[in-house]
Each structure stands twice: as structure tokens, then as C-alpha cells.
Amino acid sequence: MTSTIEQRFQVALDESRLLMLATQLLFGFQLSSVFTDQFASFTLTMRQVDASALLLLVVALALLLTPPSQHRLVEHGHITGRIRTCVTRYTEAALLPFAISLGLDVYLVFTHSFGEAMGIAVGAMIFVASILLWYVAEFVYRVWILEKDRNVTKTGDAPTDIFTRCTQLLTEARIALPGAQALLGFQLAVMMTGAFKTLPEASRLVHAGALISVAFCLVLLVAPAAFHRIAFDGADTERFYRIGSRLVTVALLPLAVGVSADIYVAMERILANDVAAIATAAGAFAMLSVFWMFYPLALRRQIKAA
């Protein structure tokens, strides 16, 4: 039985959700690692690797949440050919910075425990395995096996029913929700460490602001499900879709603020350079804002004018 376009798009969103959770868990590890007692023994190279891995995860995060943003802001929840291509391409692209960051993180922990030679060997092995199993094997299989048997039929754009749009809206909220929960958990744990008390007051206040921002994001992401259940009694309507879409879209702003603020805290501790930490955090916030808000809004105006 052939799956429908709606089912395939739903699966694509679910796949993004899996990668989002893994990305946020790794981001949480990066955040908490700079507050461990062992961080003081990191060499300059290890600190540079730590900073690079953290920034690569921000890139992966930006890429993963771009398709849901465009789906709501540009397509208004309808499943078009453009958005189907978008979710595939952005998810594929997000795997690369995630794979590099994963290899770098493995390098860090093995270098700390067993020496640099072991760290390089194991980190490289994990990175190569990731590329082989996430890119090479899939493209080879598609070209050499599937293309010989596949009868490709292109499906044109068609209006998406309100039930599917509401279901996918809630799925898009769930893409960001587990990651925000994991990040909040790490943020709370960091504030209980001894190293946190040694931070400059400015860094502690910034981290507190980041925690509040992510907590507020969590509240906004859960709100659509509460509206759907309590106010609309589970009914899928255009009004519910508009309310839920706005809540999920607005939730990305405090998430961008929280992630960027914690980038500042981590970079200030890693680089011991306040100016570099501010510049990096500002760059992260600008990138996340462009990917999640400004580019989708500009694309919507462009399509509407065409």
C-alpha cells in the first residue's frame, strides 16, 4: 500500500523530532561540560574543539527548526512541493554539523580519559561512521538500487485538510518541545554546580535569563495542546490552527534568546574573552532569528507578490 503525501510529510517531521532531541541533548552536554571540575584541565586545543562543537550544534538546531517555521509562516500548514523539498534538504543538511560535533565531543571525552591519540582515533571513527551511515549508504542505495525499480510520480500541490494541518502543527510543537525540556534540565543542573558560583555576576545573570527564556518557550509550546484539549474539546478548526500556529512561532523567539544567552556564558568560560563571547552569542541569535523568523516572513511576501 502506497503512503500518502500527508503520511510521508508526517514521517519527515517525526524524523526531524528525533534528530532535534539528539541535538539538544548534545547541546546540553556541551553546556554542562564547561562547569565540570575536569574543565580546568582542558588544553587550549580541547577548549577550541569544545567551542567549535557547541557552535556546530547551534547550526544544526537552526536548520532543523527552519522547515516547521516555513510550513506555518509561508505555507499556512498546507503541504506543498516546496515545503516537502525543504524539510528533506534542511534535515539532510543538519546531519553534517551534528556528525562533526558528535565526533568532536567523543574526541574530548576520550582525550581527557585516555590521551589525545585515542581521542583522535575514536572521534574520527565515530565521524566517519556517521557520514557513511547517514549520507554515503543512503545515496548509494538510492542511486544503485531504488532508482532502477522506482516509478516516480510527481504529485501536484493540493489544499491540505484541517485535520492534517492541526495534527502536523502539534507535531511541529513536539519537535522543539523535547529539546527545550532537555535544555532546561541541563540549565537547572548547571545552577546547582559549584563552578556556577565562581562565574562573574554578569554571566550568572545571563544564564538565569536564558533559563527563564527557555522555560517561557516551554510554556508556549505546551499551550497549543492545552487549547486543543480544553478550549476546543479536541476539535480541529481553522481558529485553533491560527492560535496554535502563532503560539508555536512565538515560542521560537525565547528559545533563540535562551540558546544565544547560554552560548555567551559557555564561550566566556571557554575563551575567557568577554568580547568574543558577546560577538559569538550575537551571531548565534542573528542566525537563529533569520532562519526561524525573518527568512520565512520574507519568503512569504515574495511568494505572495509573485
Which tops the pLDDT comparison, 32 or 257?
257
Is pLDDT at 156 greater than 60 in this prediction?
no
Q: Give me 287's grid cell.
A: 542566525
Residue 150: pLDDT band by 50, 70, 90 thresholds? low
pLDDT in tens, 59-102: 999 999 999 999 999 998 999 889 989 998 999 999 999 999 99
Task: Give the angle subtended at the CA of 292 by the CAs of 178 and 250, to the nearest 5°.
Answer: 70
Q: Specify burial of residue 175 (Cβ count, 10 A radius: 0-12, 13-18, 19+).
A: buried
pLDDT in tens, 8-50: 888 888 888 888 888 888 888 888 888 888 888 899 899 999 9
User: First CA to last CA across the chain, in angstroms?
Assistant: 38
pTM of the model: 0.90
Q: What is the pLDDT of residue 16?
A: 85
Q: What is the pLDDT of residue 124?
A: 97
Which tops the pLDDT comparison, 195 or 250?
250
Mean pLDDT of the chain: 89
Q: Whole-angstrom Cα distance, residue 70 to residue 80? A: 11
Residue 304: pLDDT band by 50, 70, 90 thresholds? confident
Is pLDDT at 242 greater than 60 in this prediction?
yes
Half-sphere exposure of 104 (CA within 13 A, CB side): 23
Q: What is the pLDDT of residue 7?
A: 82
* Helix 274-289 / helix 238-271 crossing angle, nearest 10 deg: 160
pLDDT in tens, 265-286: 999 999 888 999 999 999 999 9
Is pLDDT at 2 greater than 80 in this prediction?
no
Most confident of 155-159, 177-181, 188-192, 210-214: 210-214
With contact defined as beta carbons under 8 Å apart, do 69 and 61 qualify? no
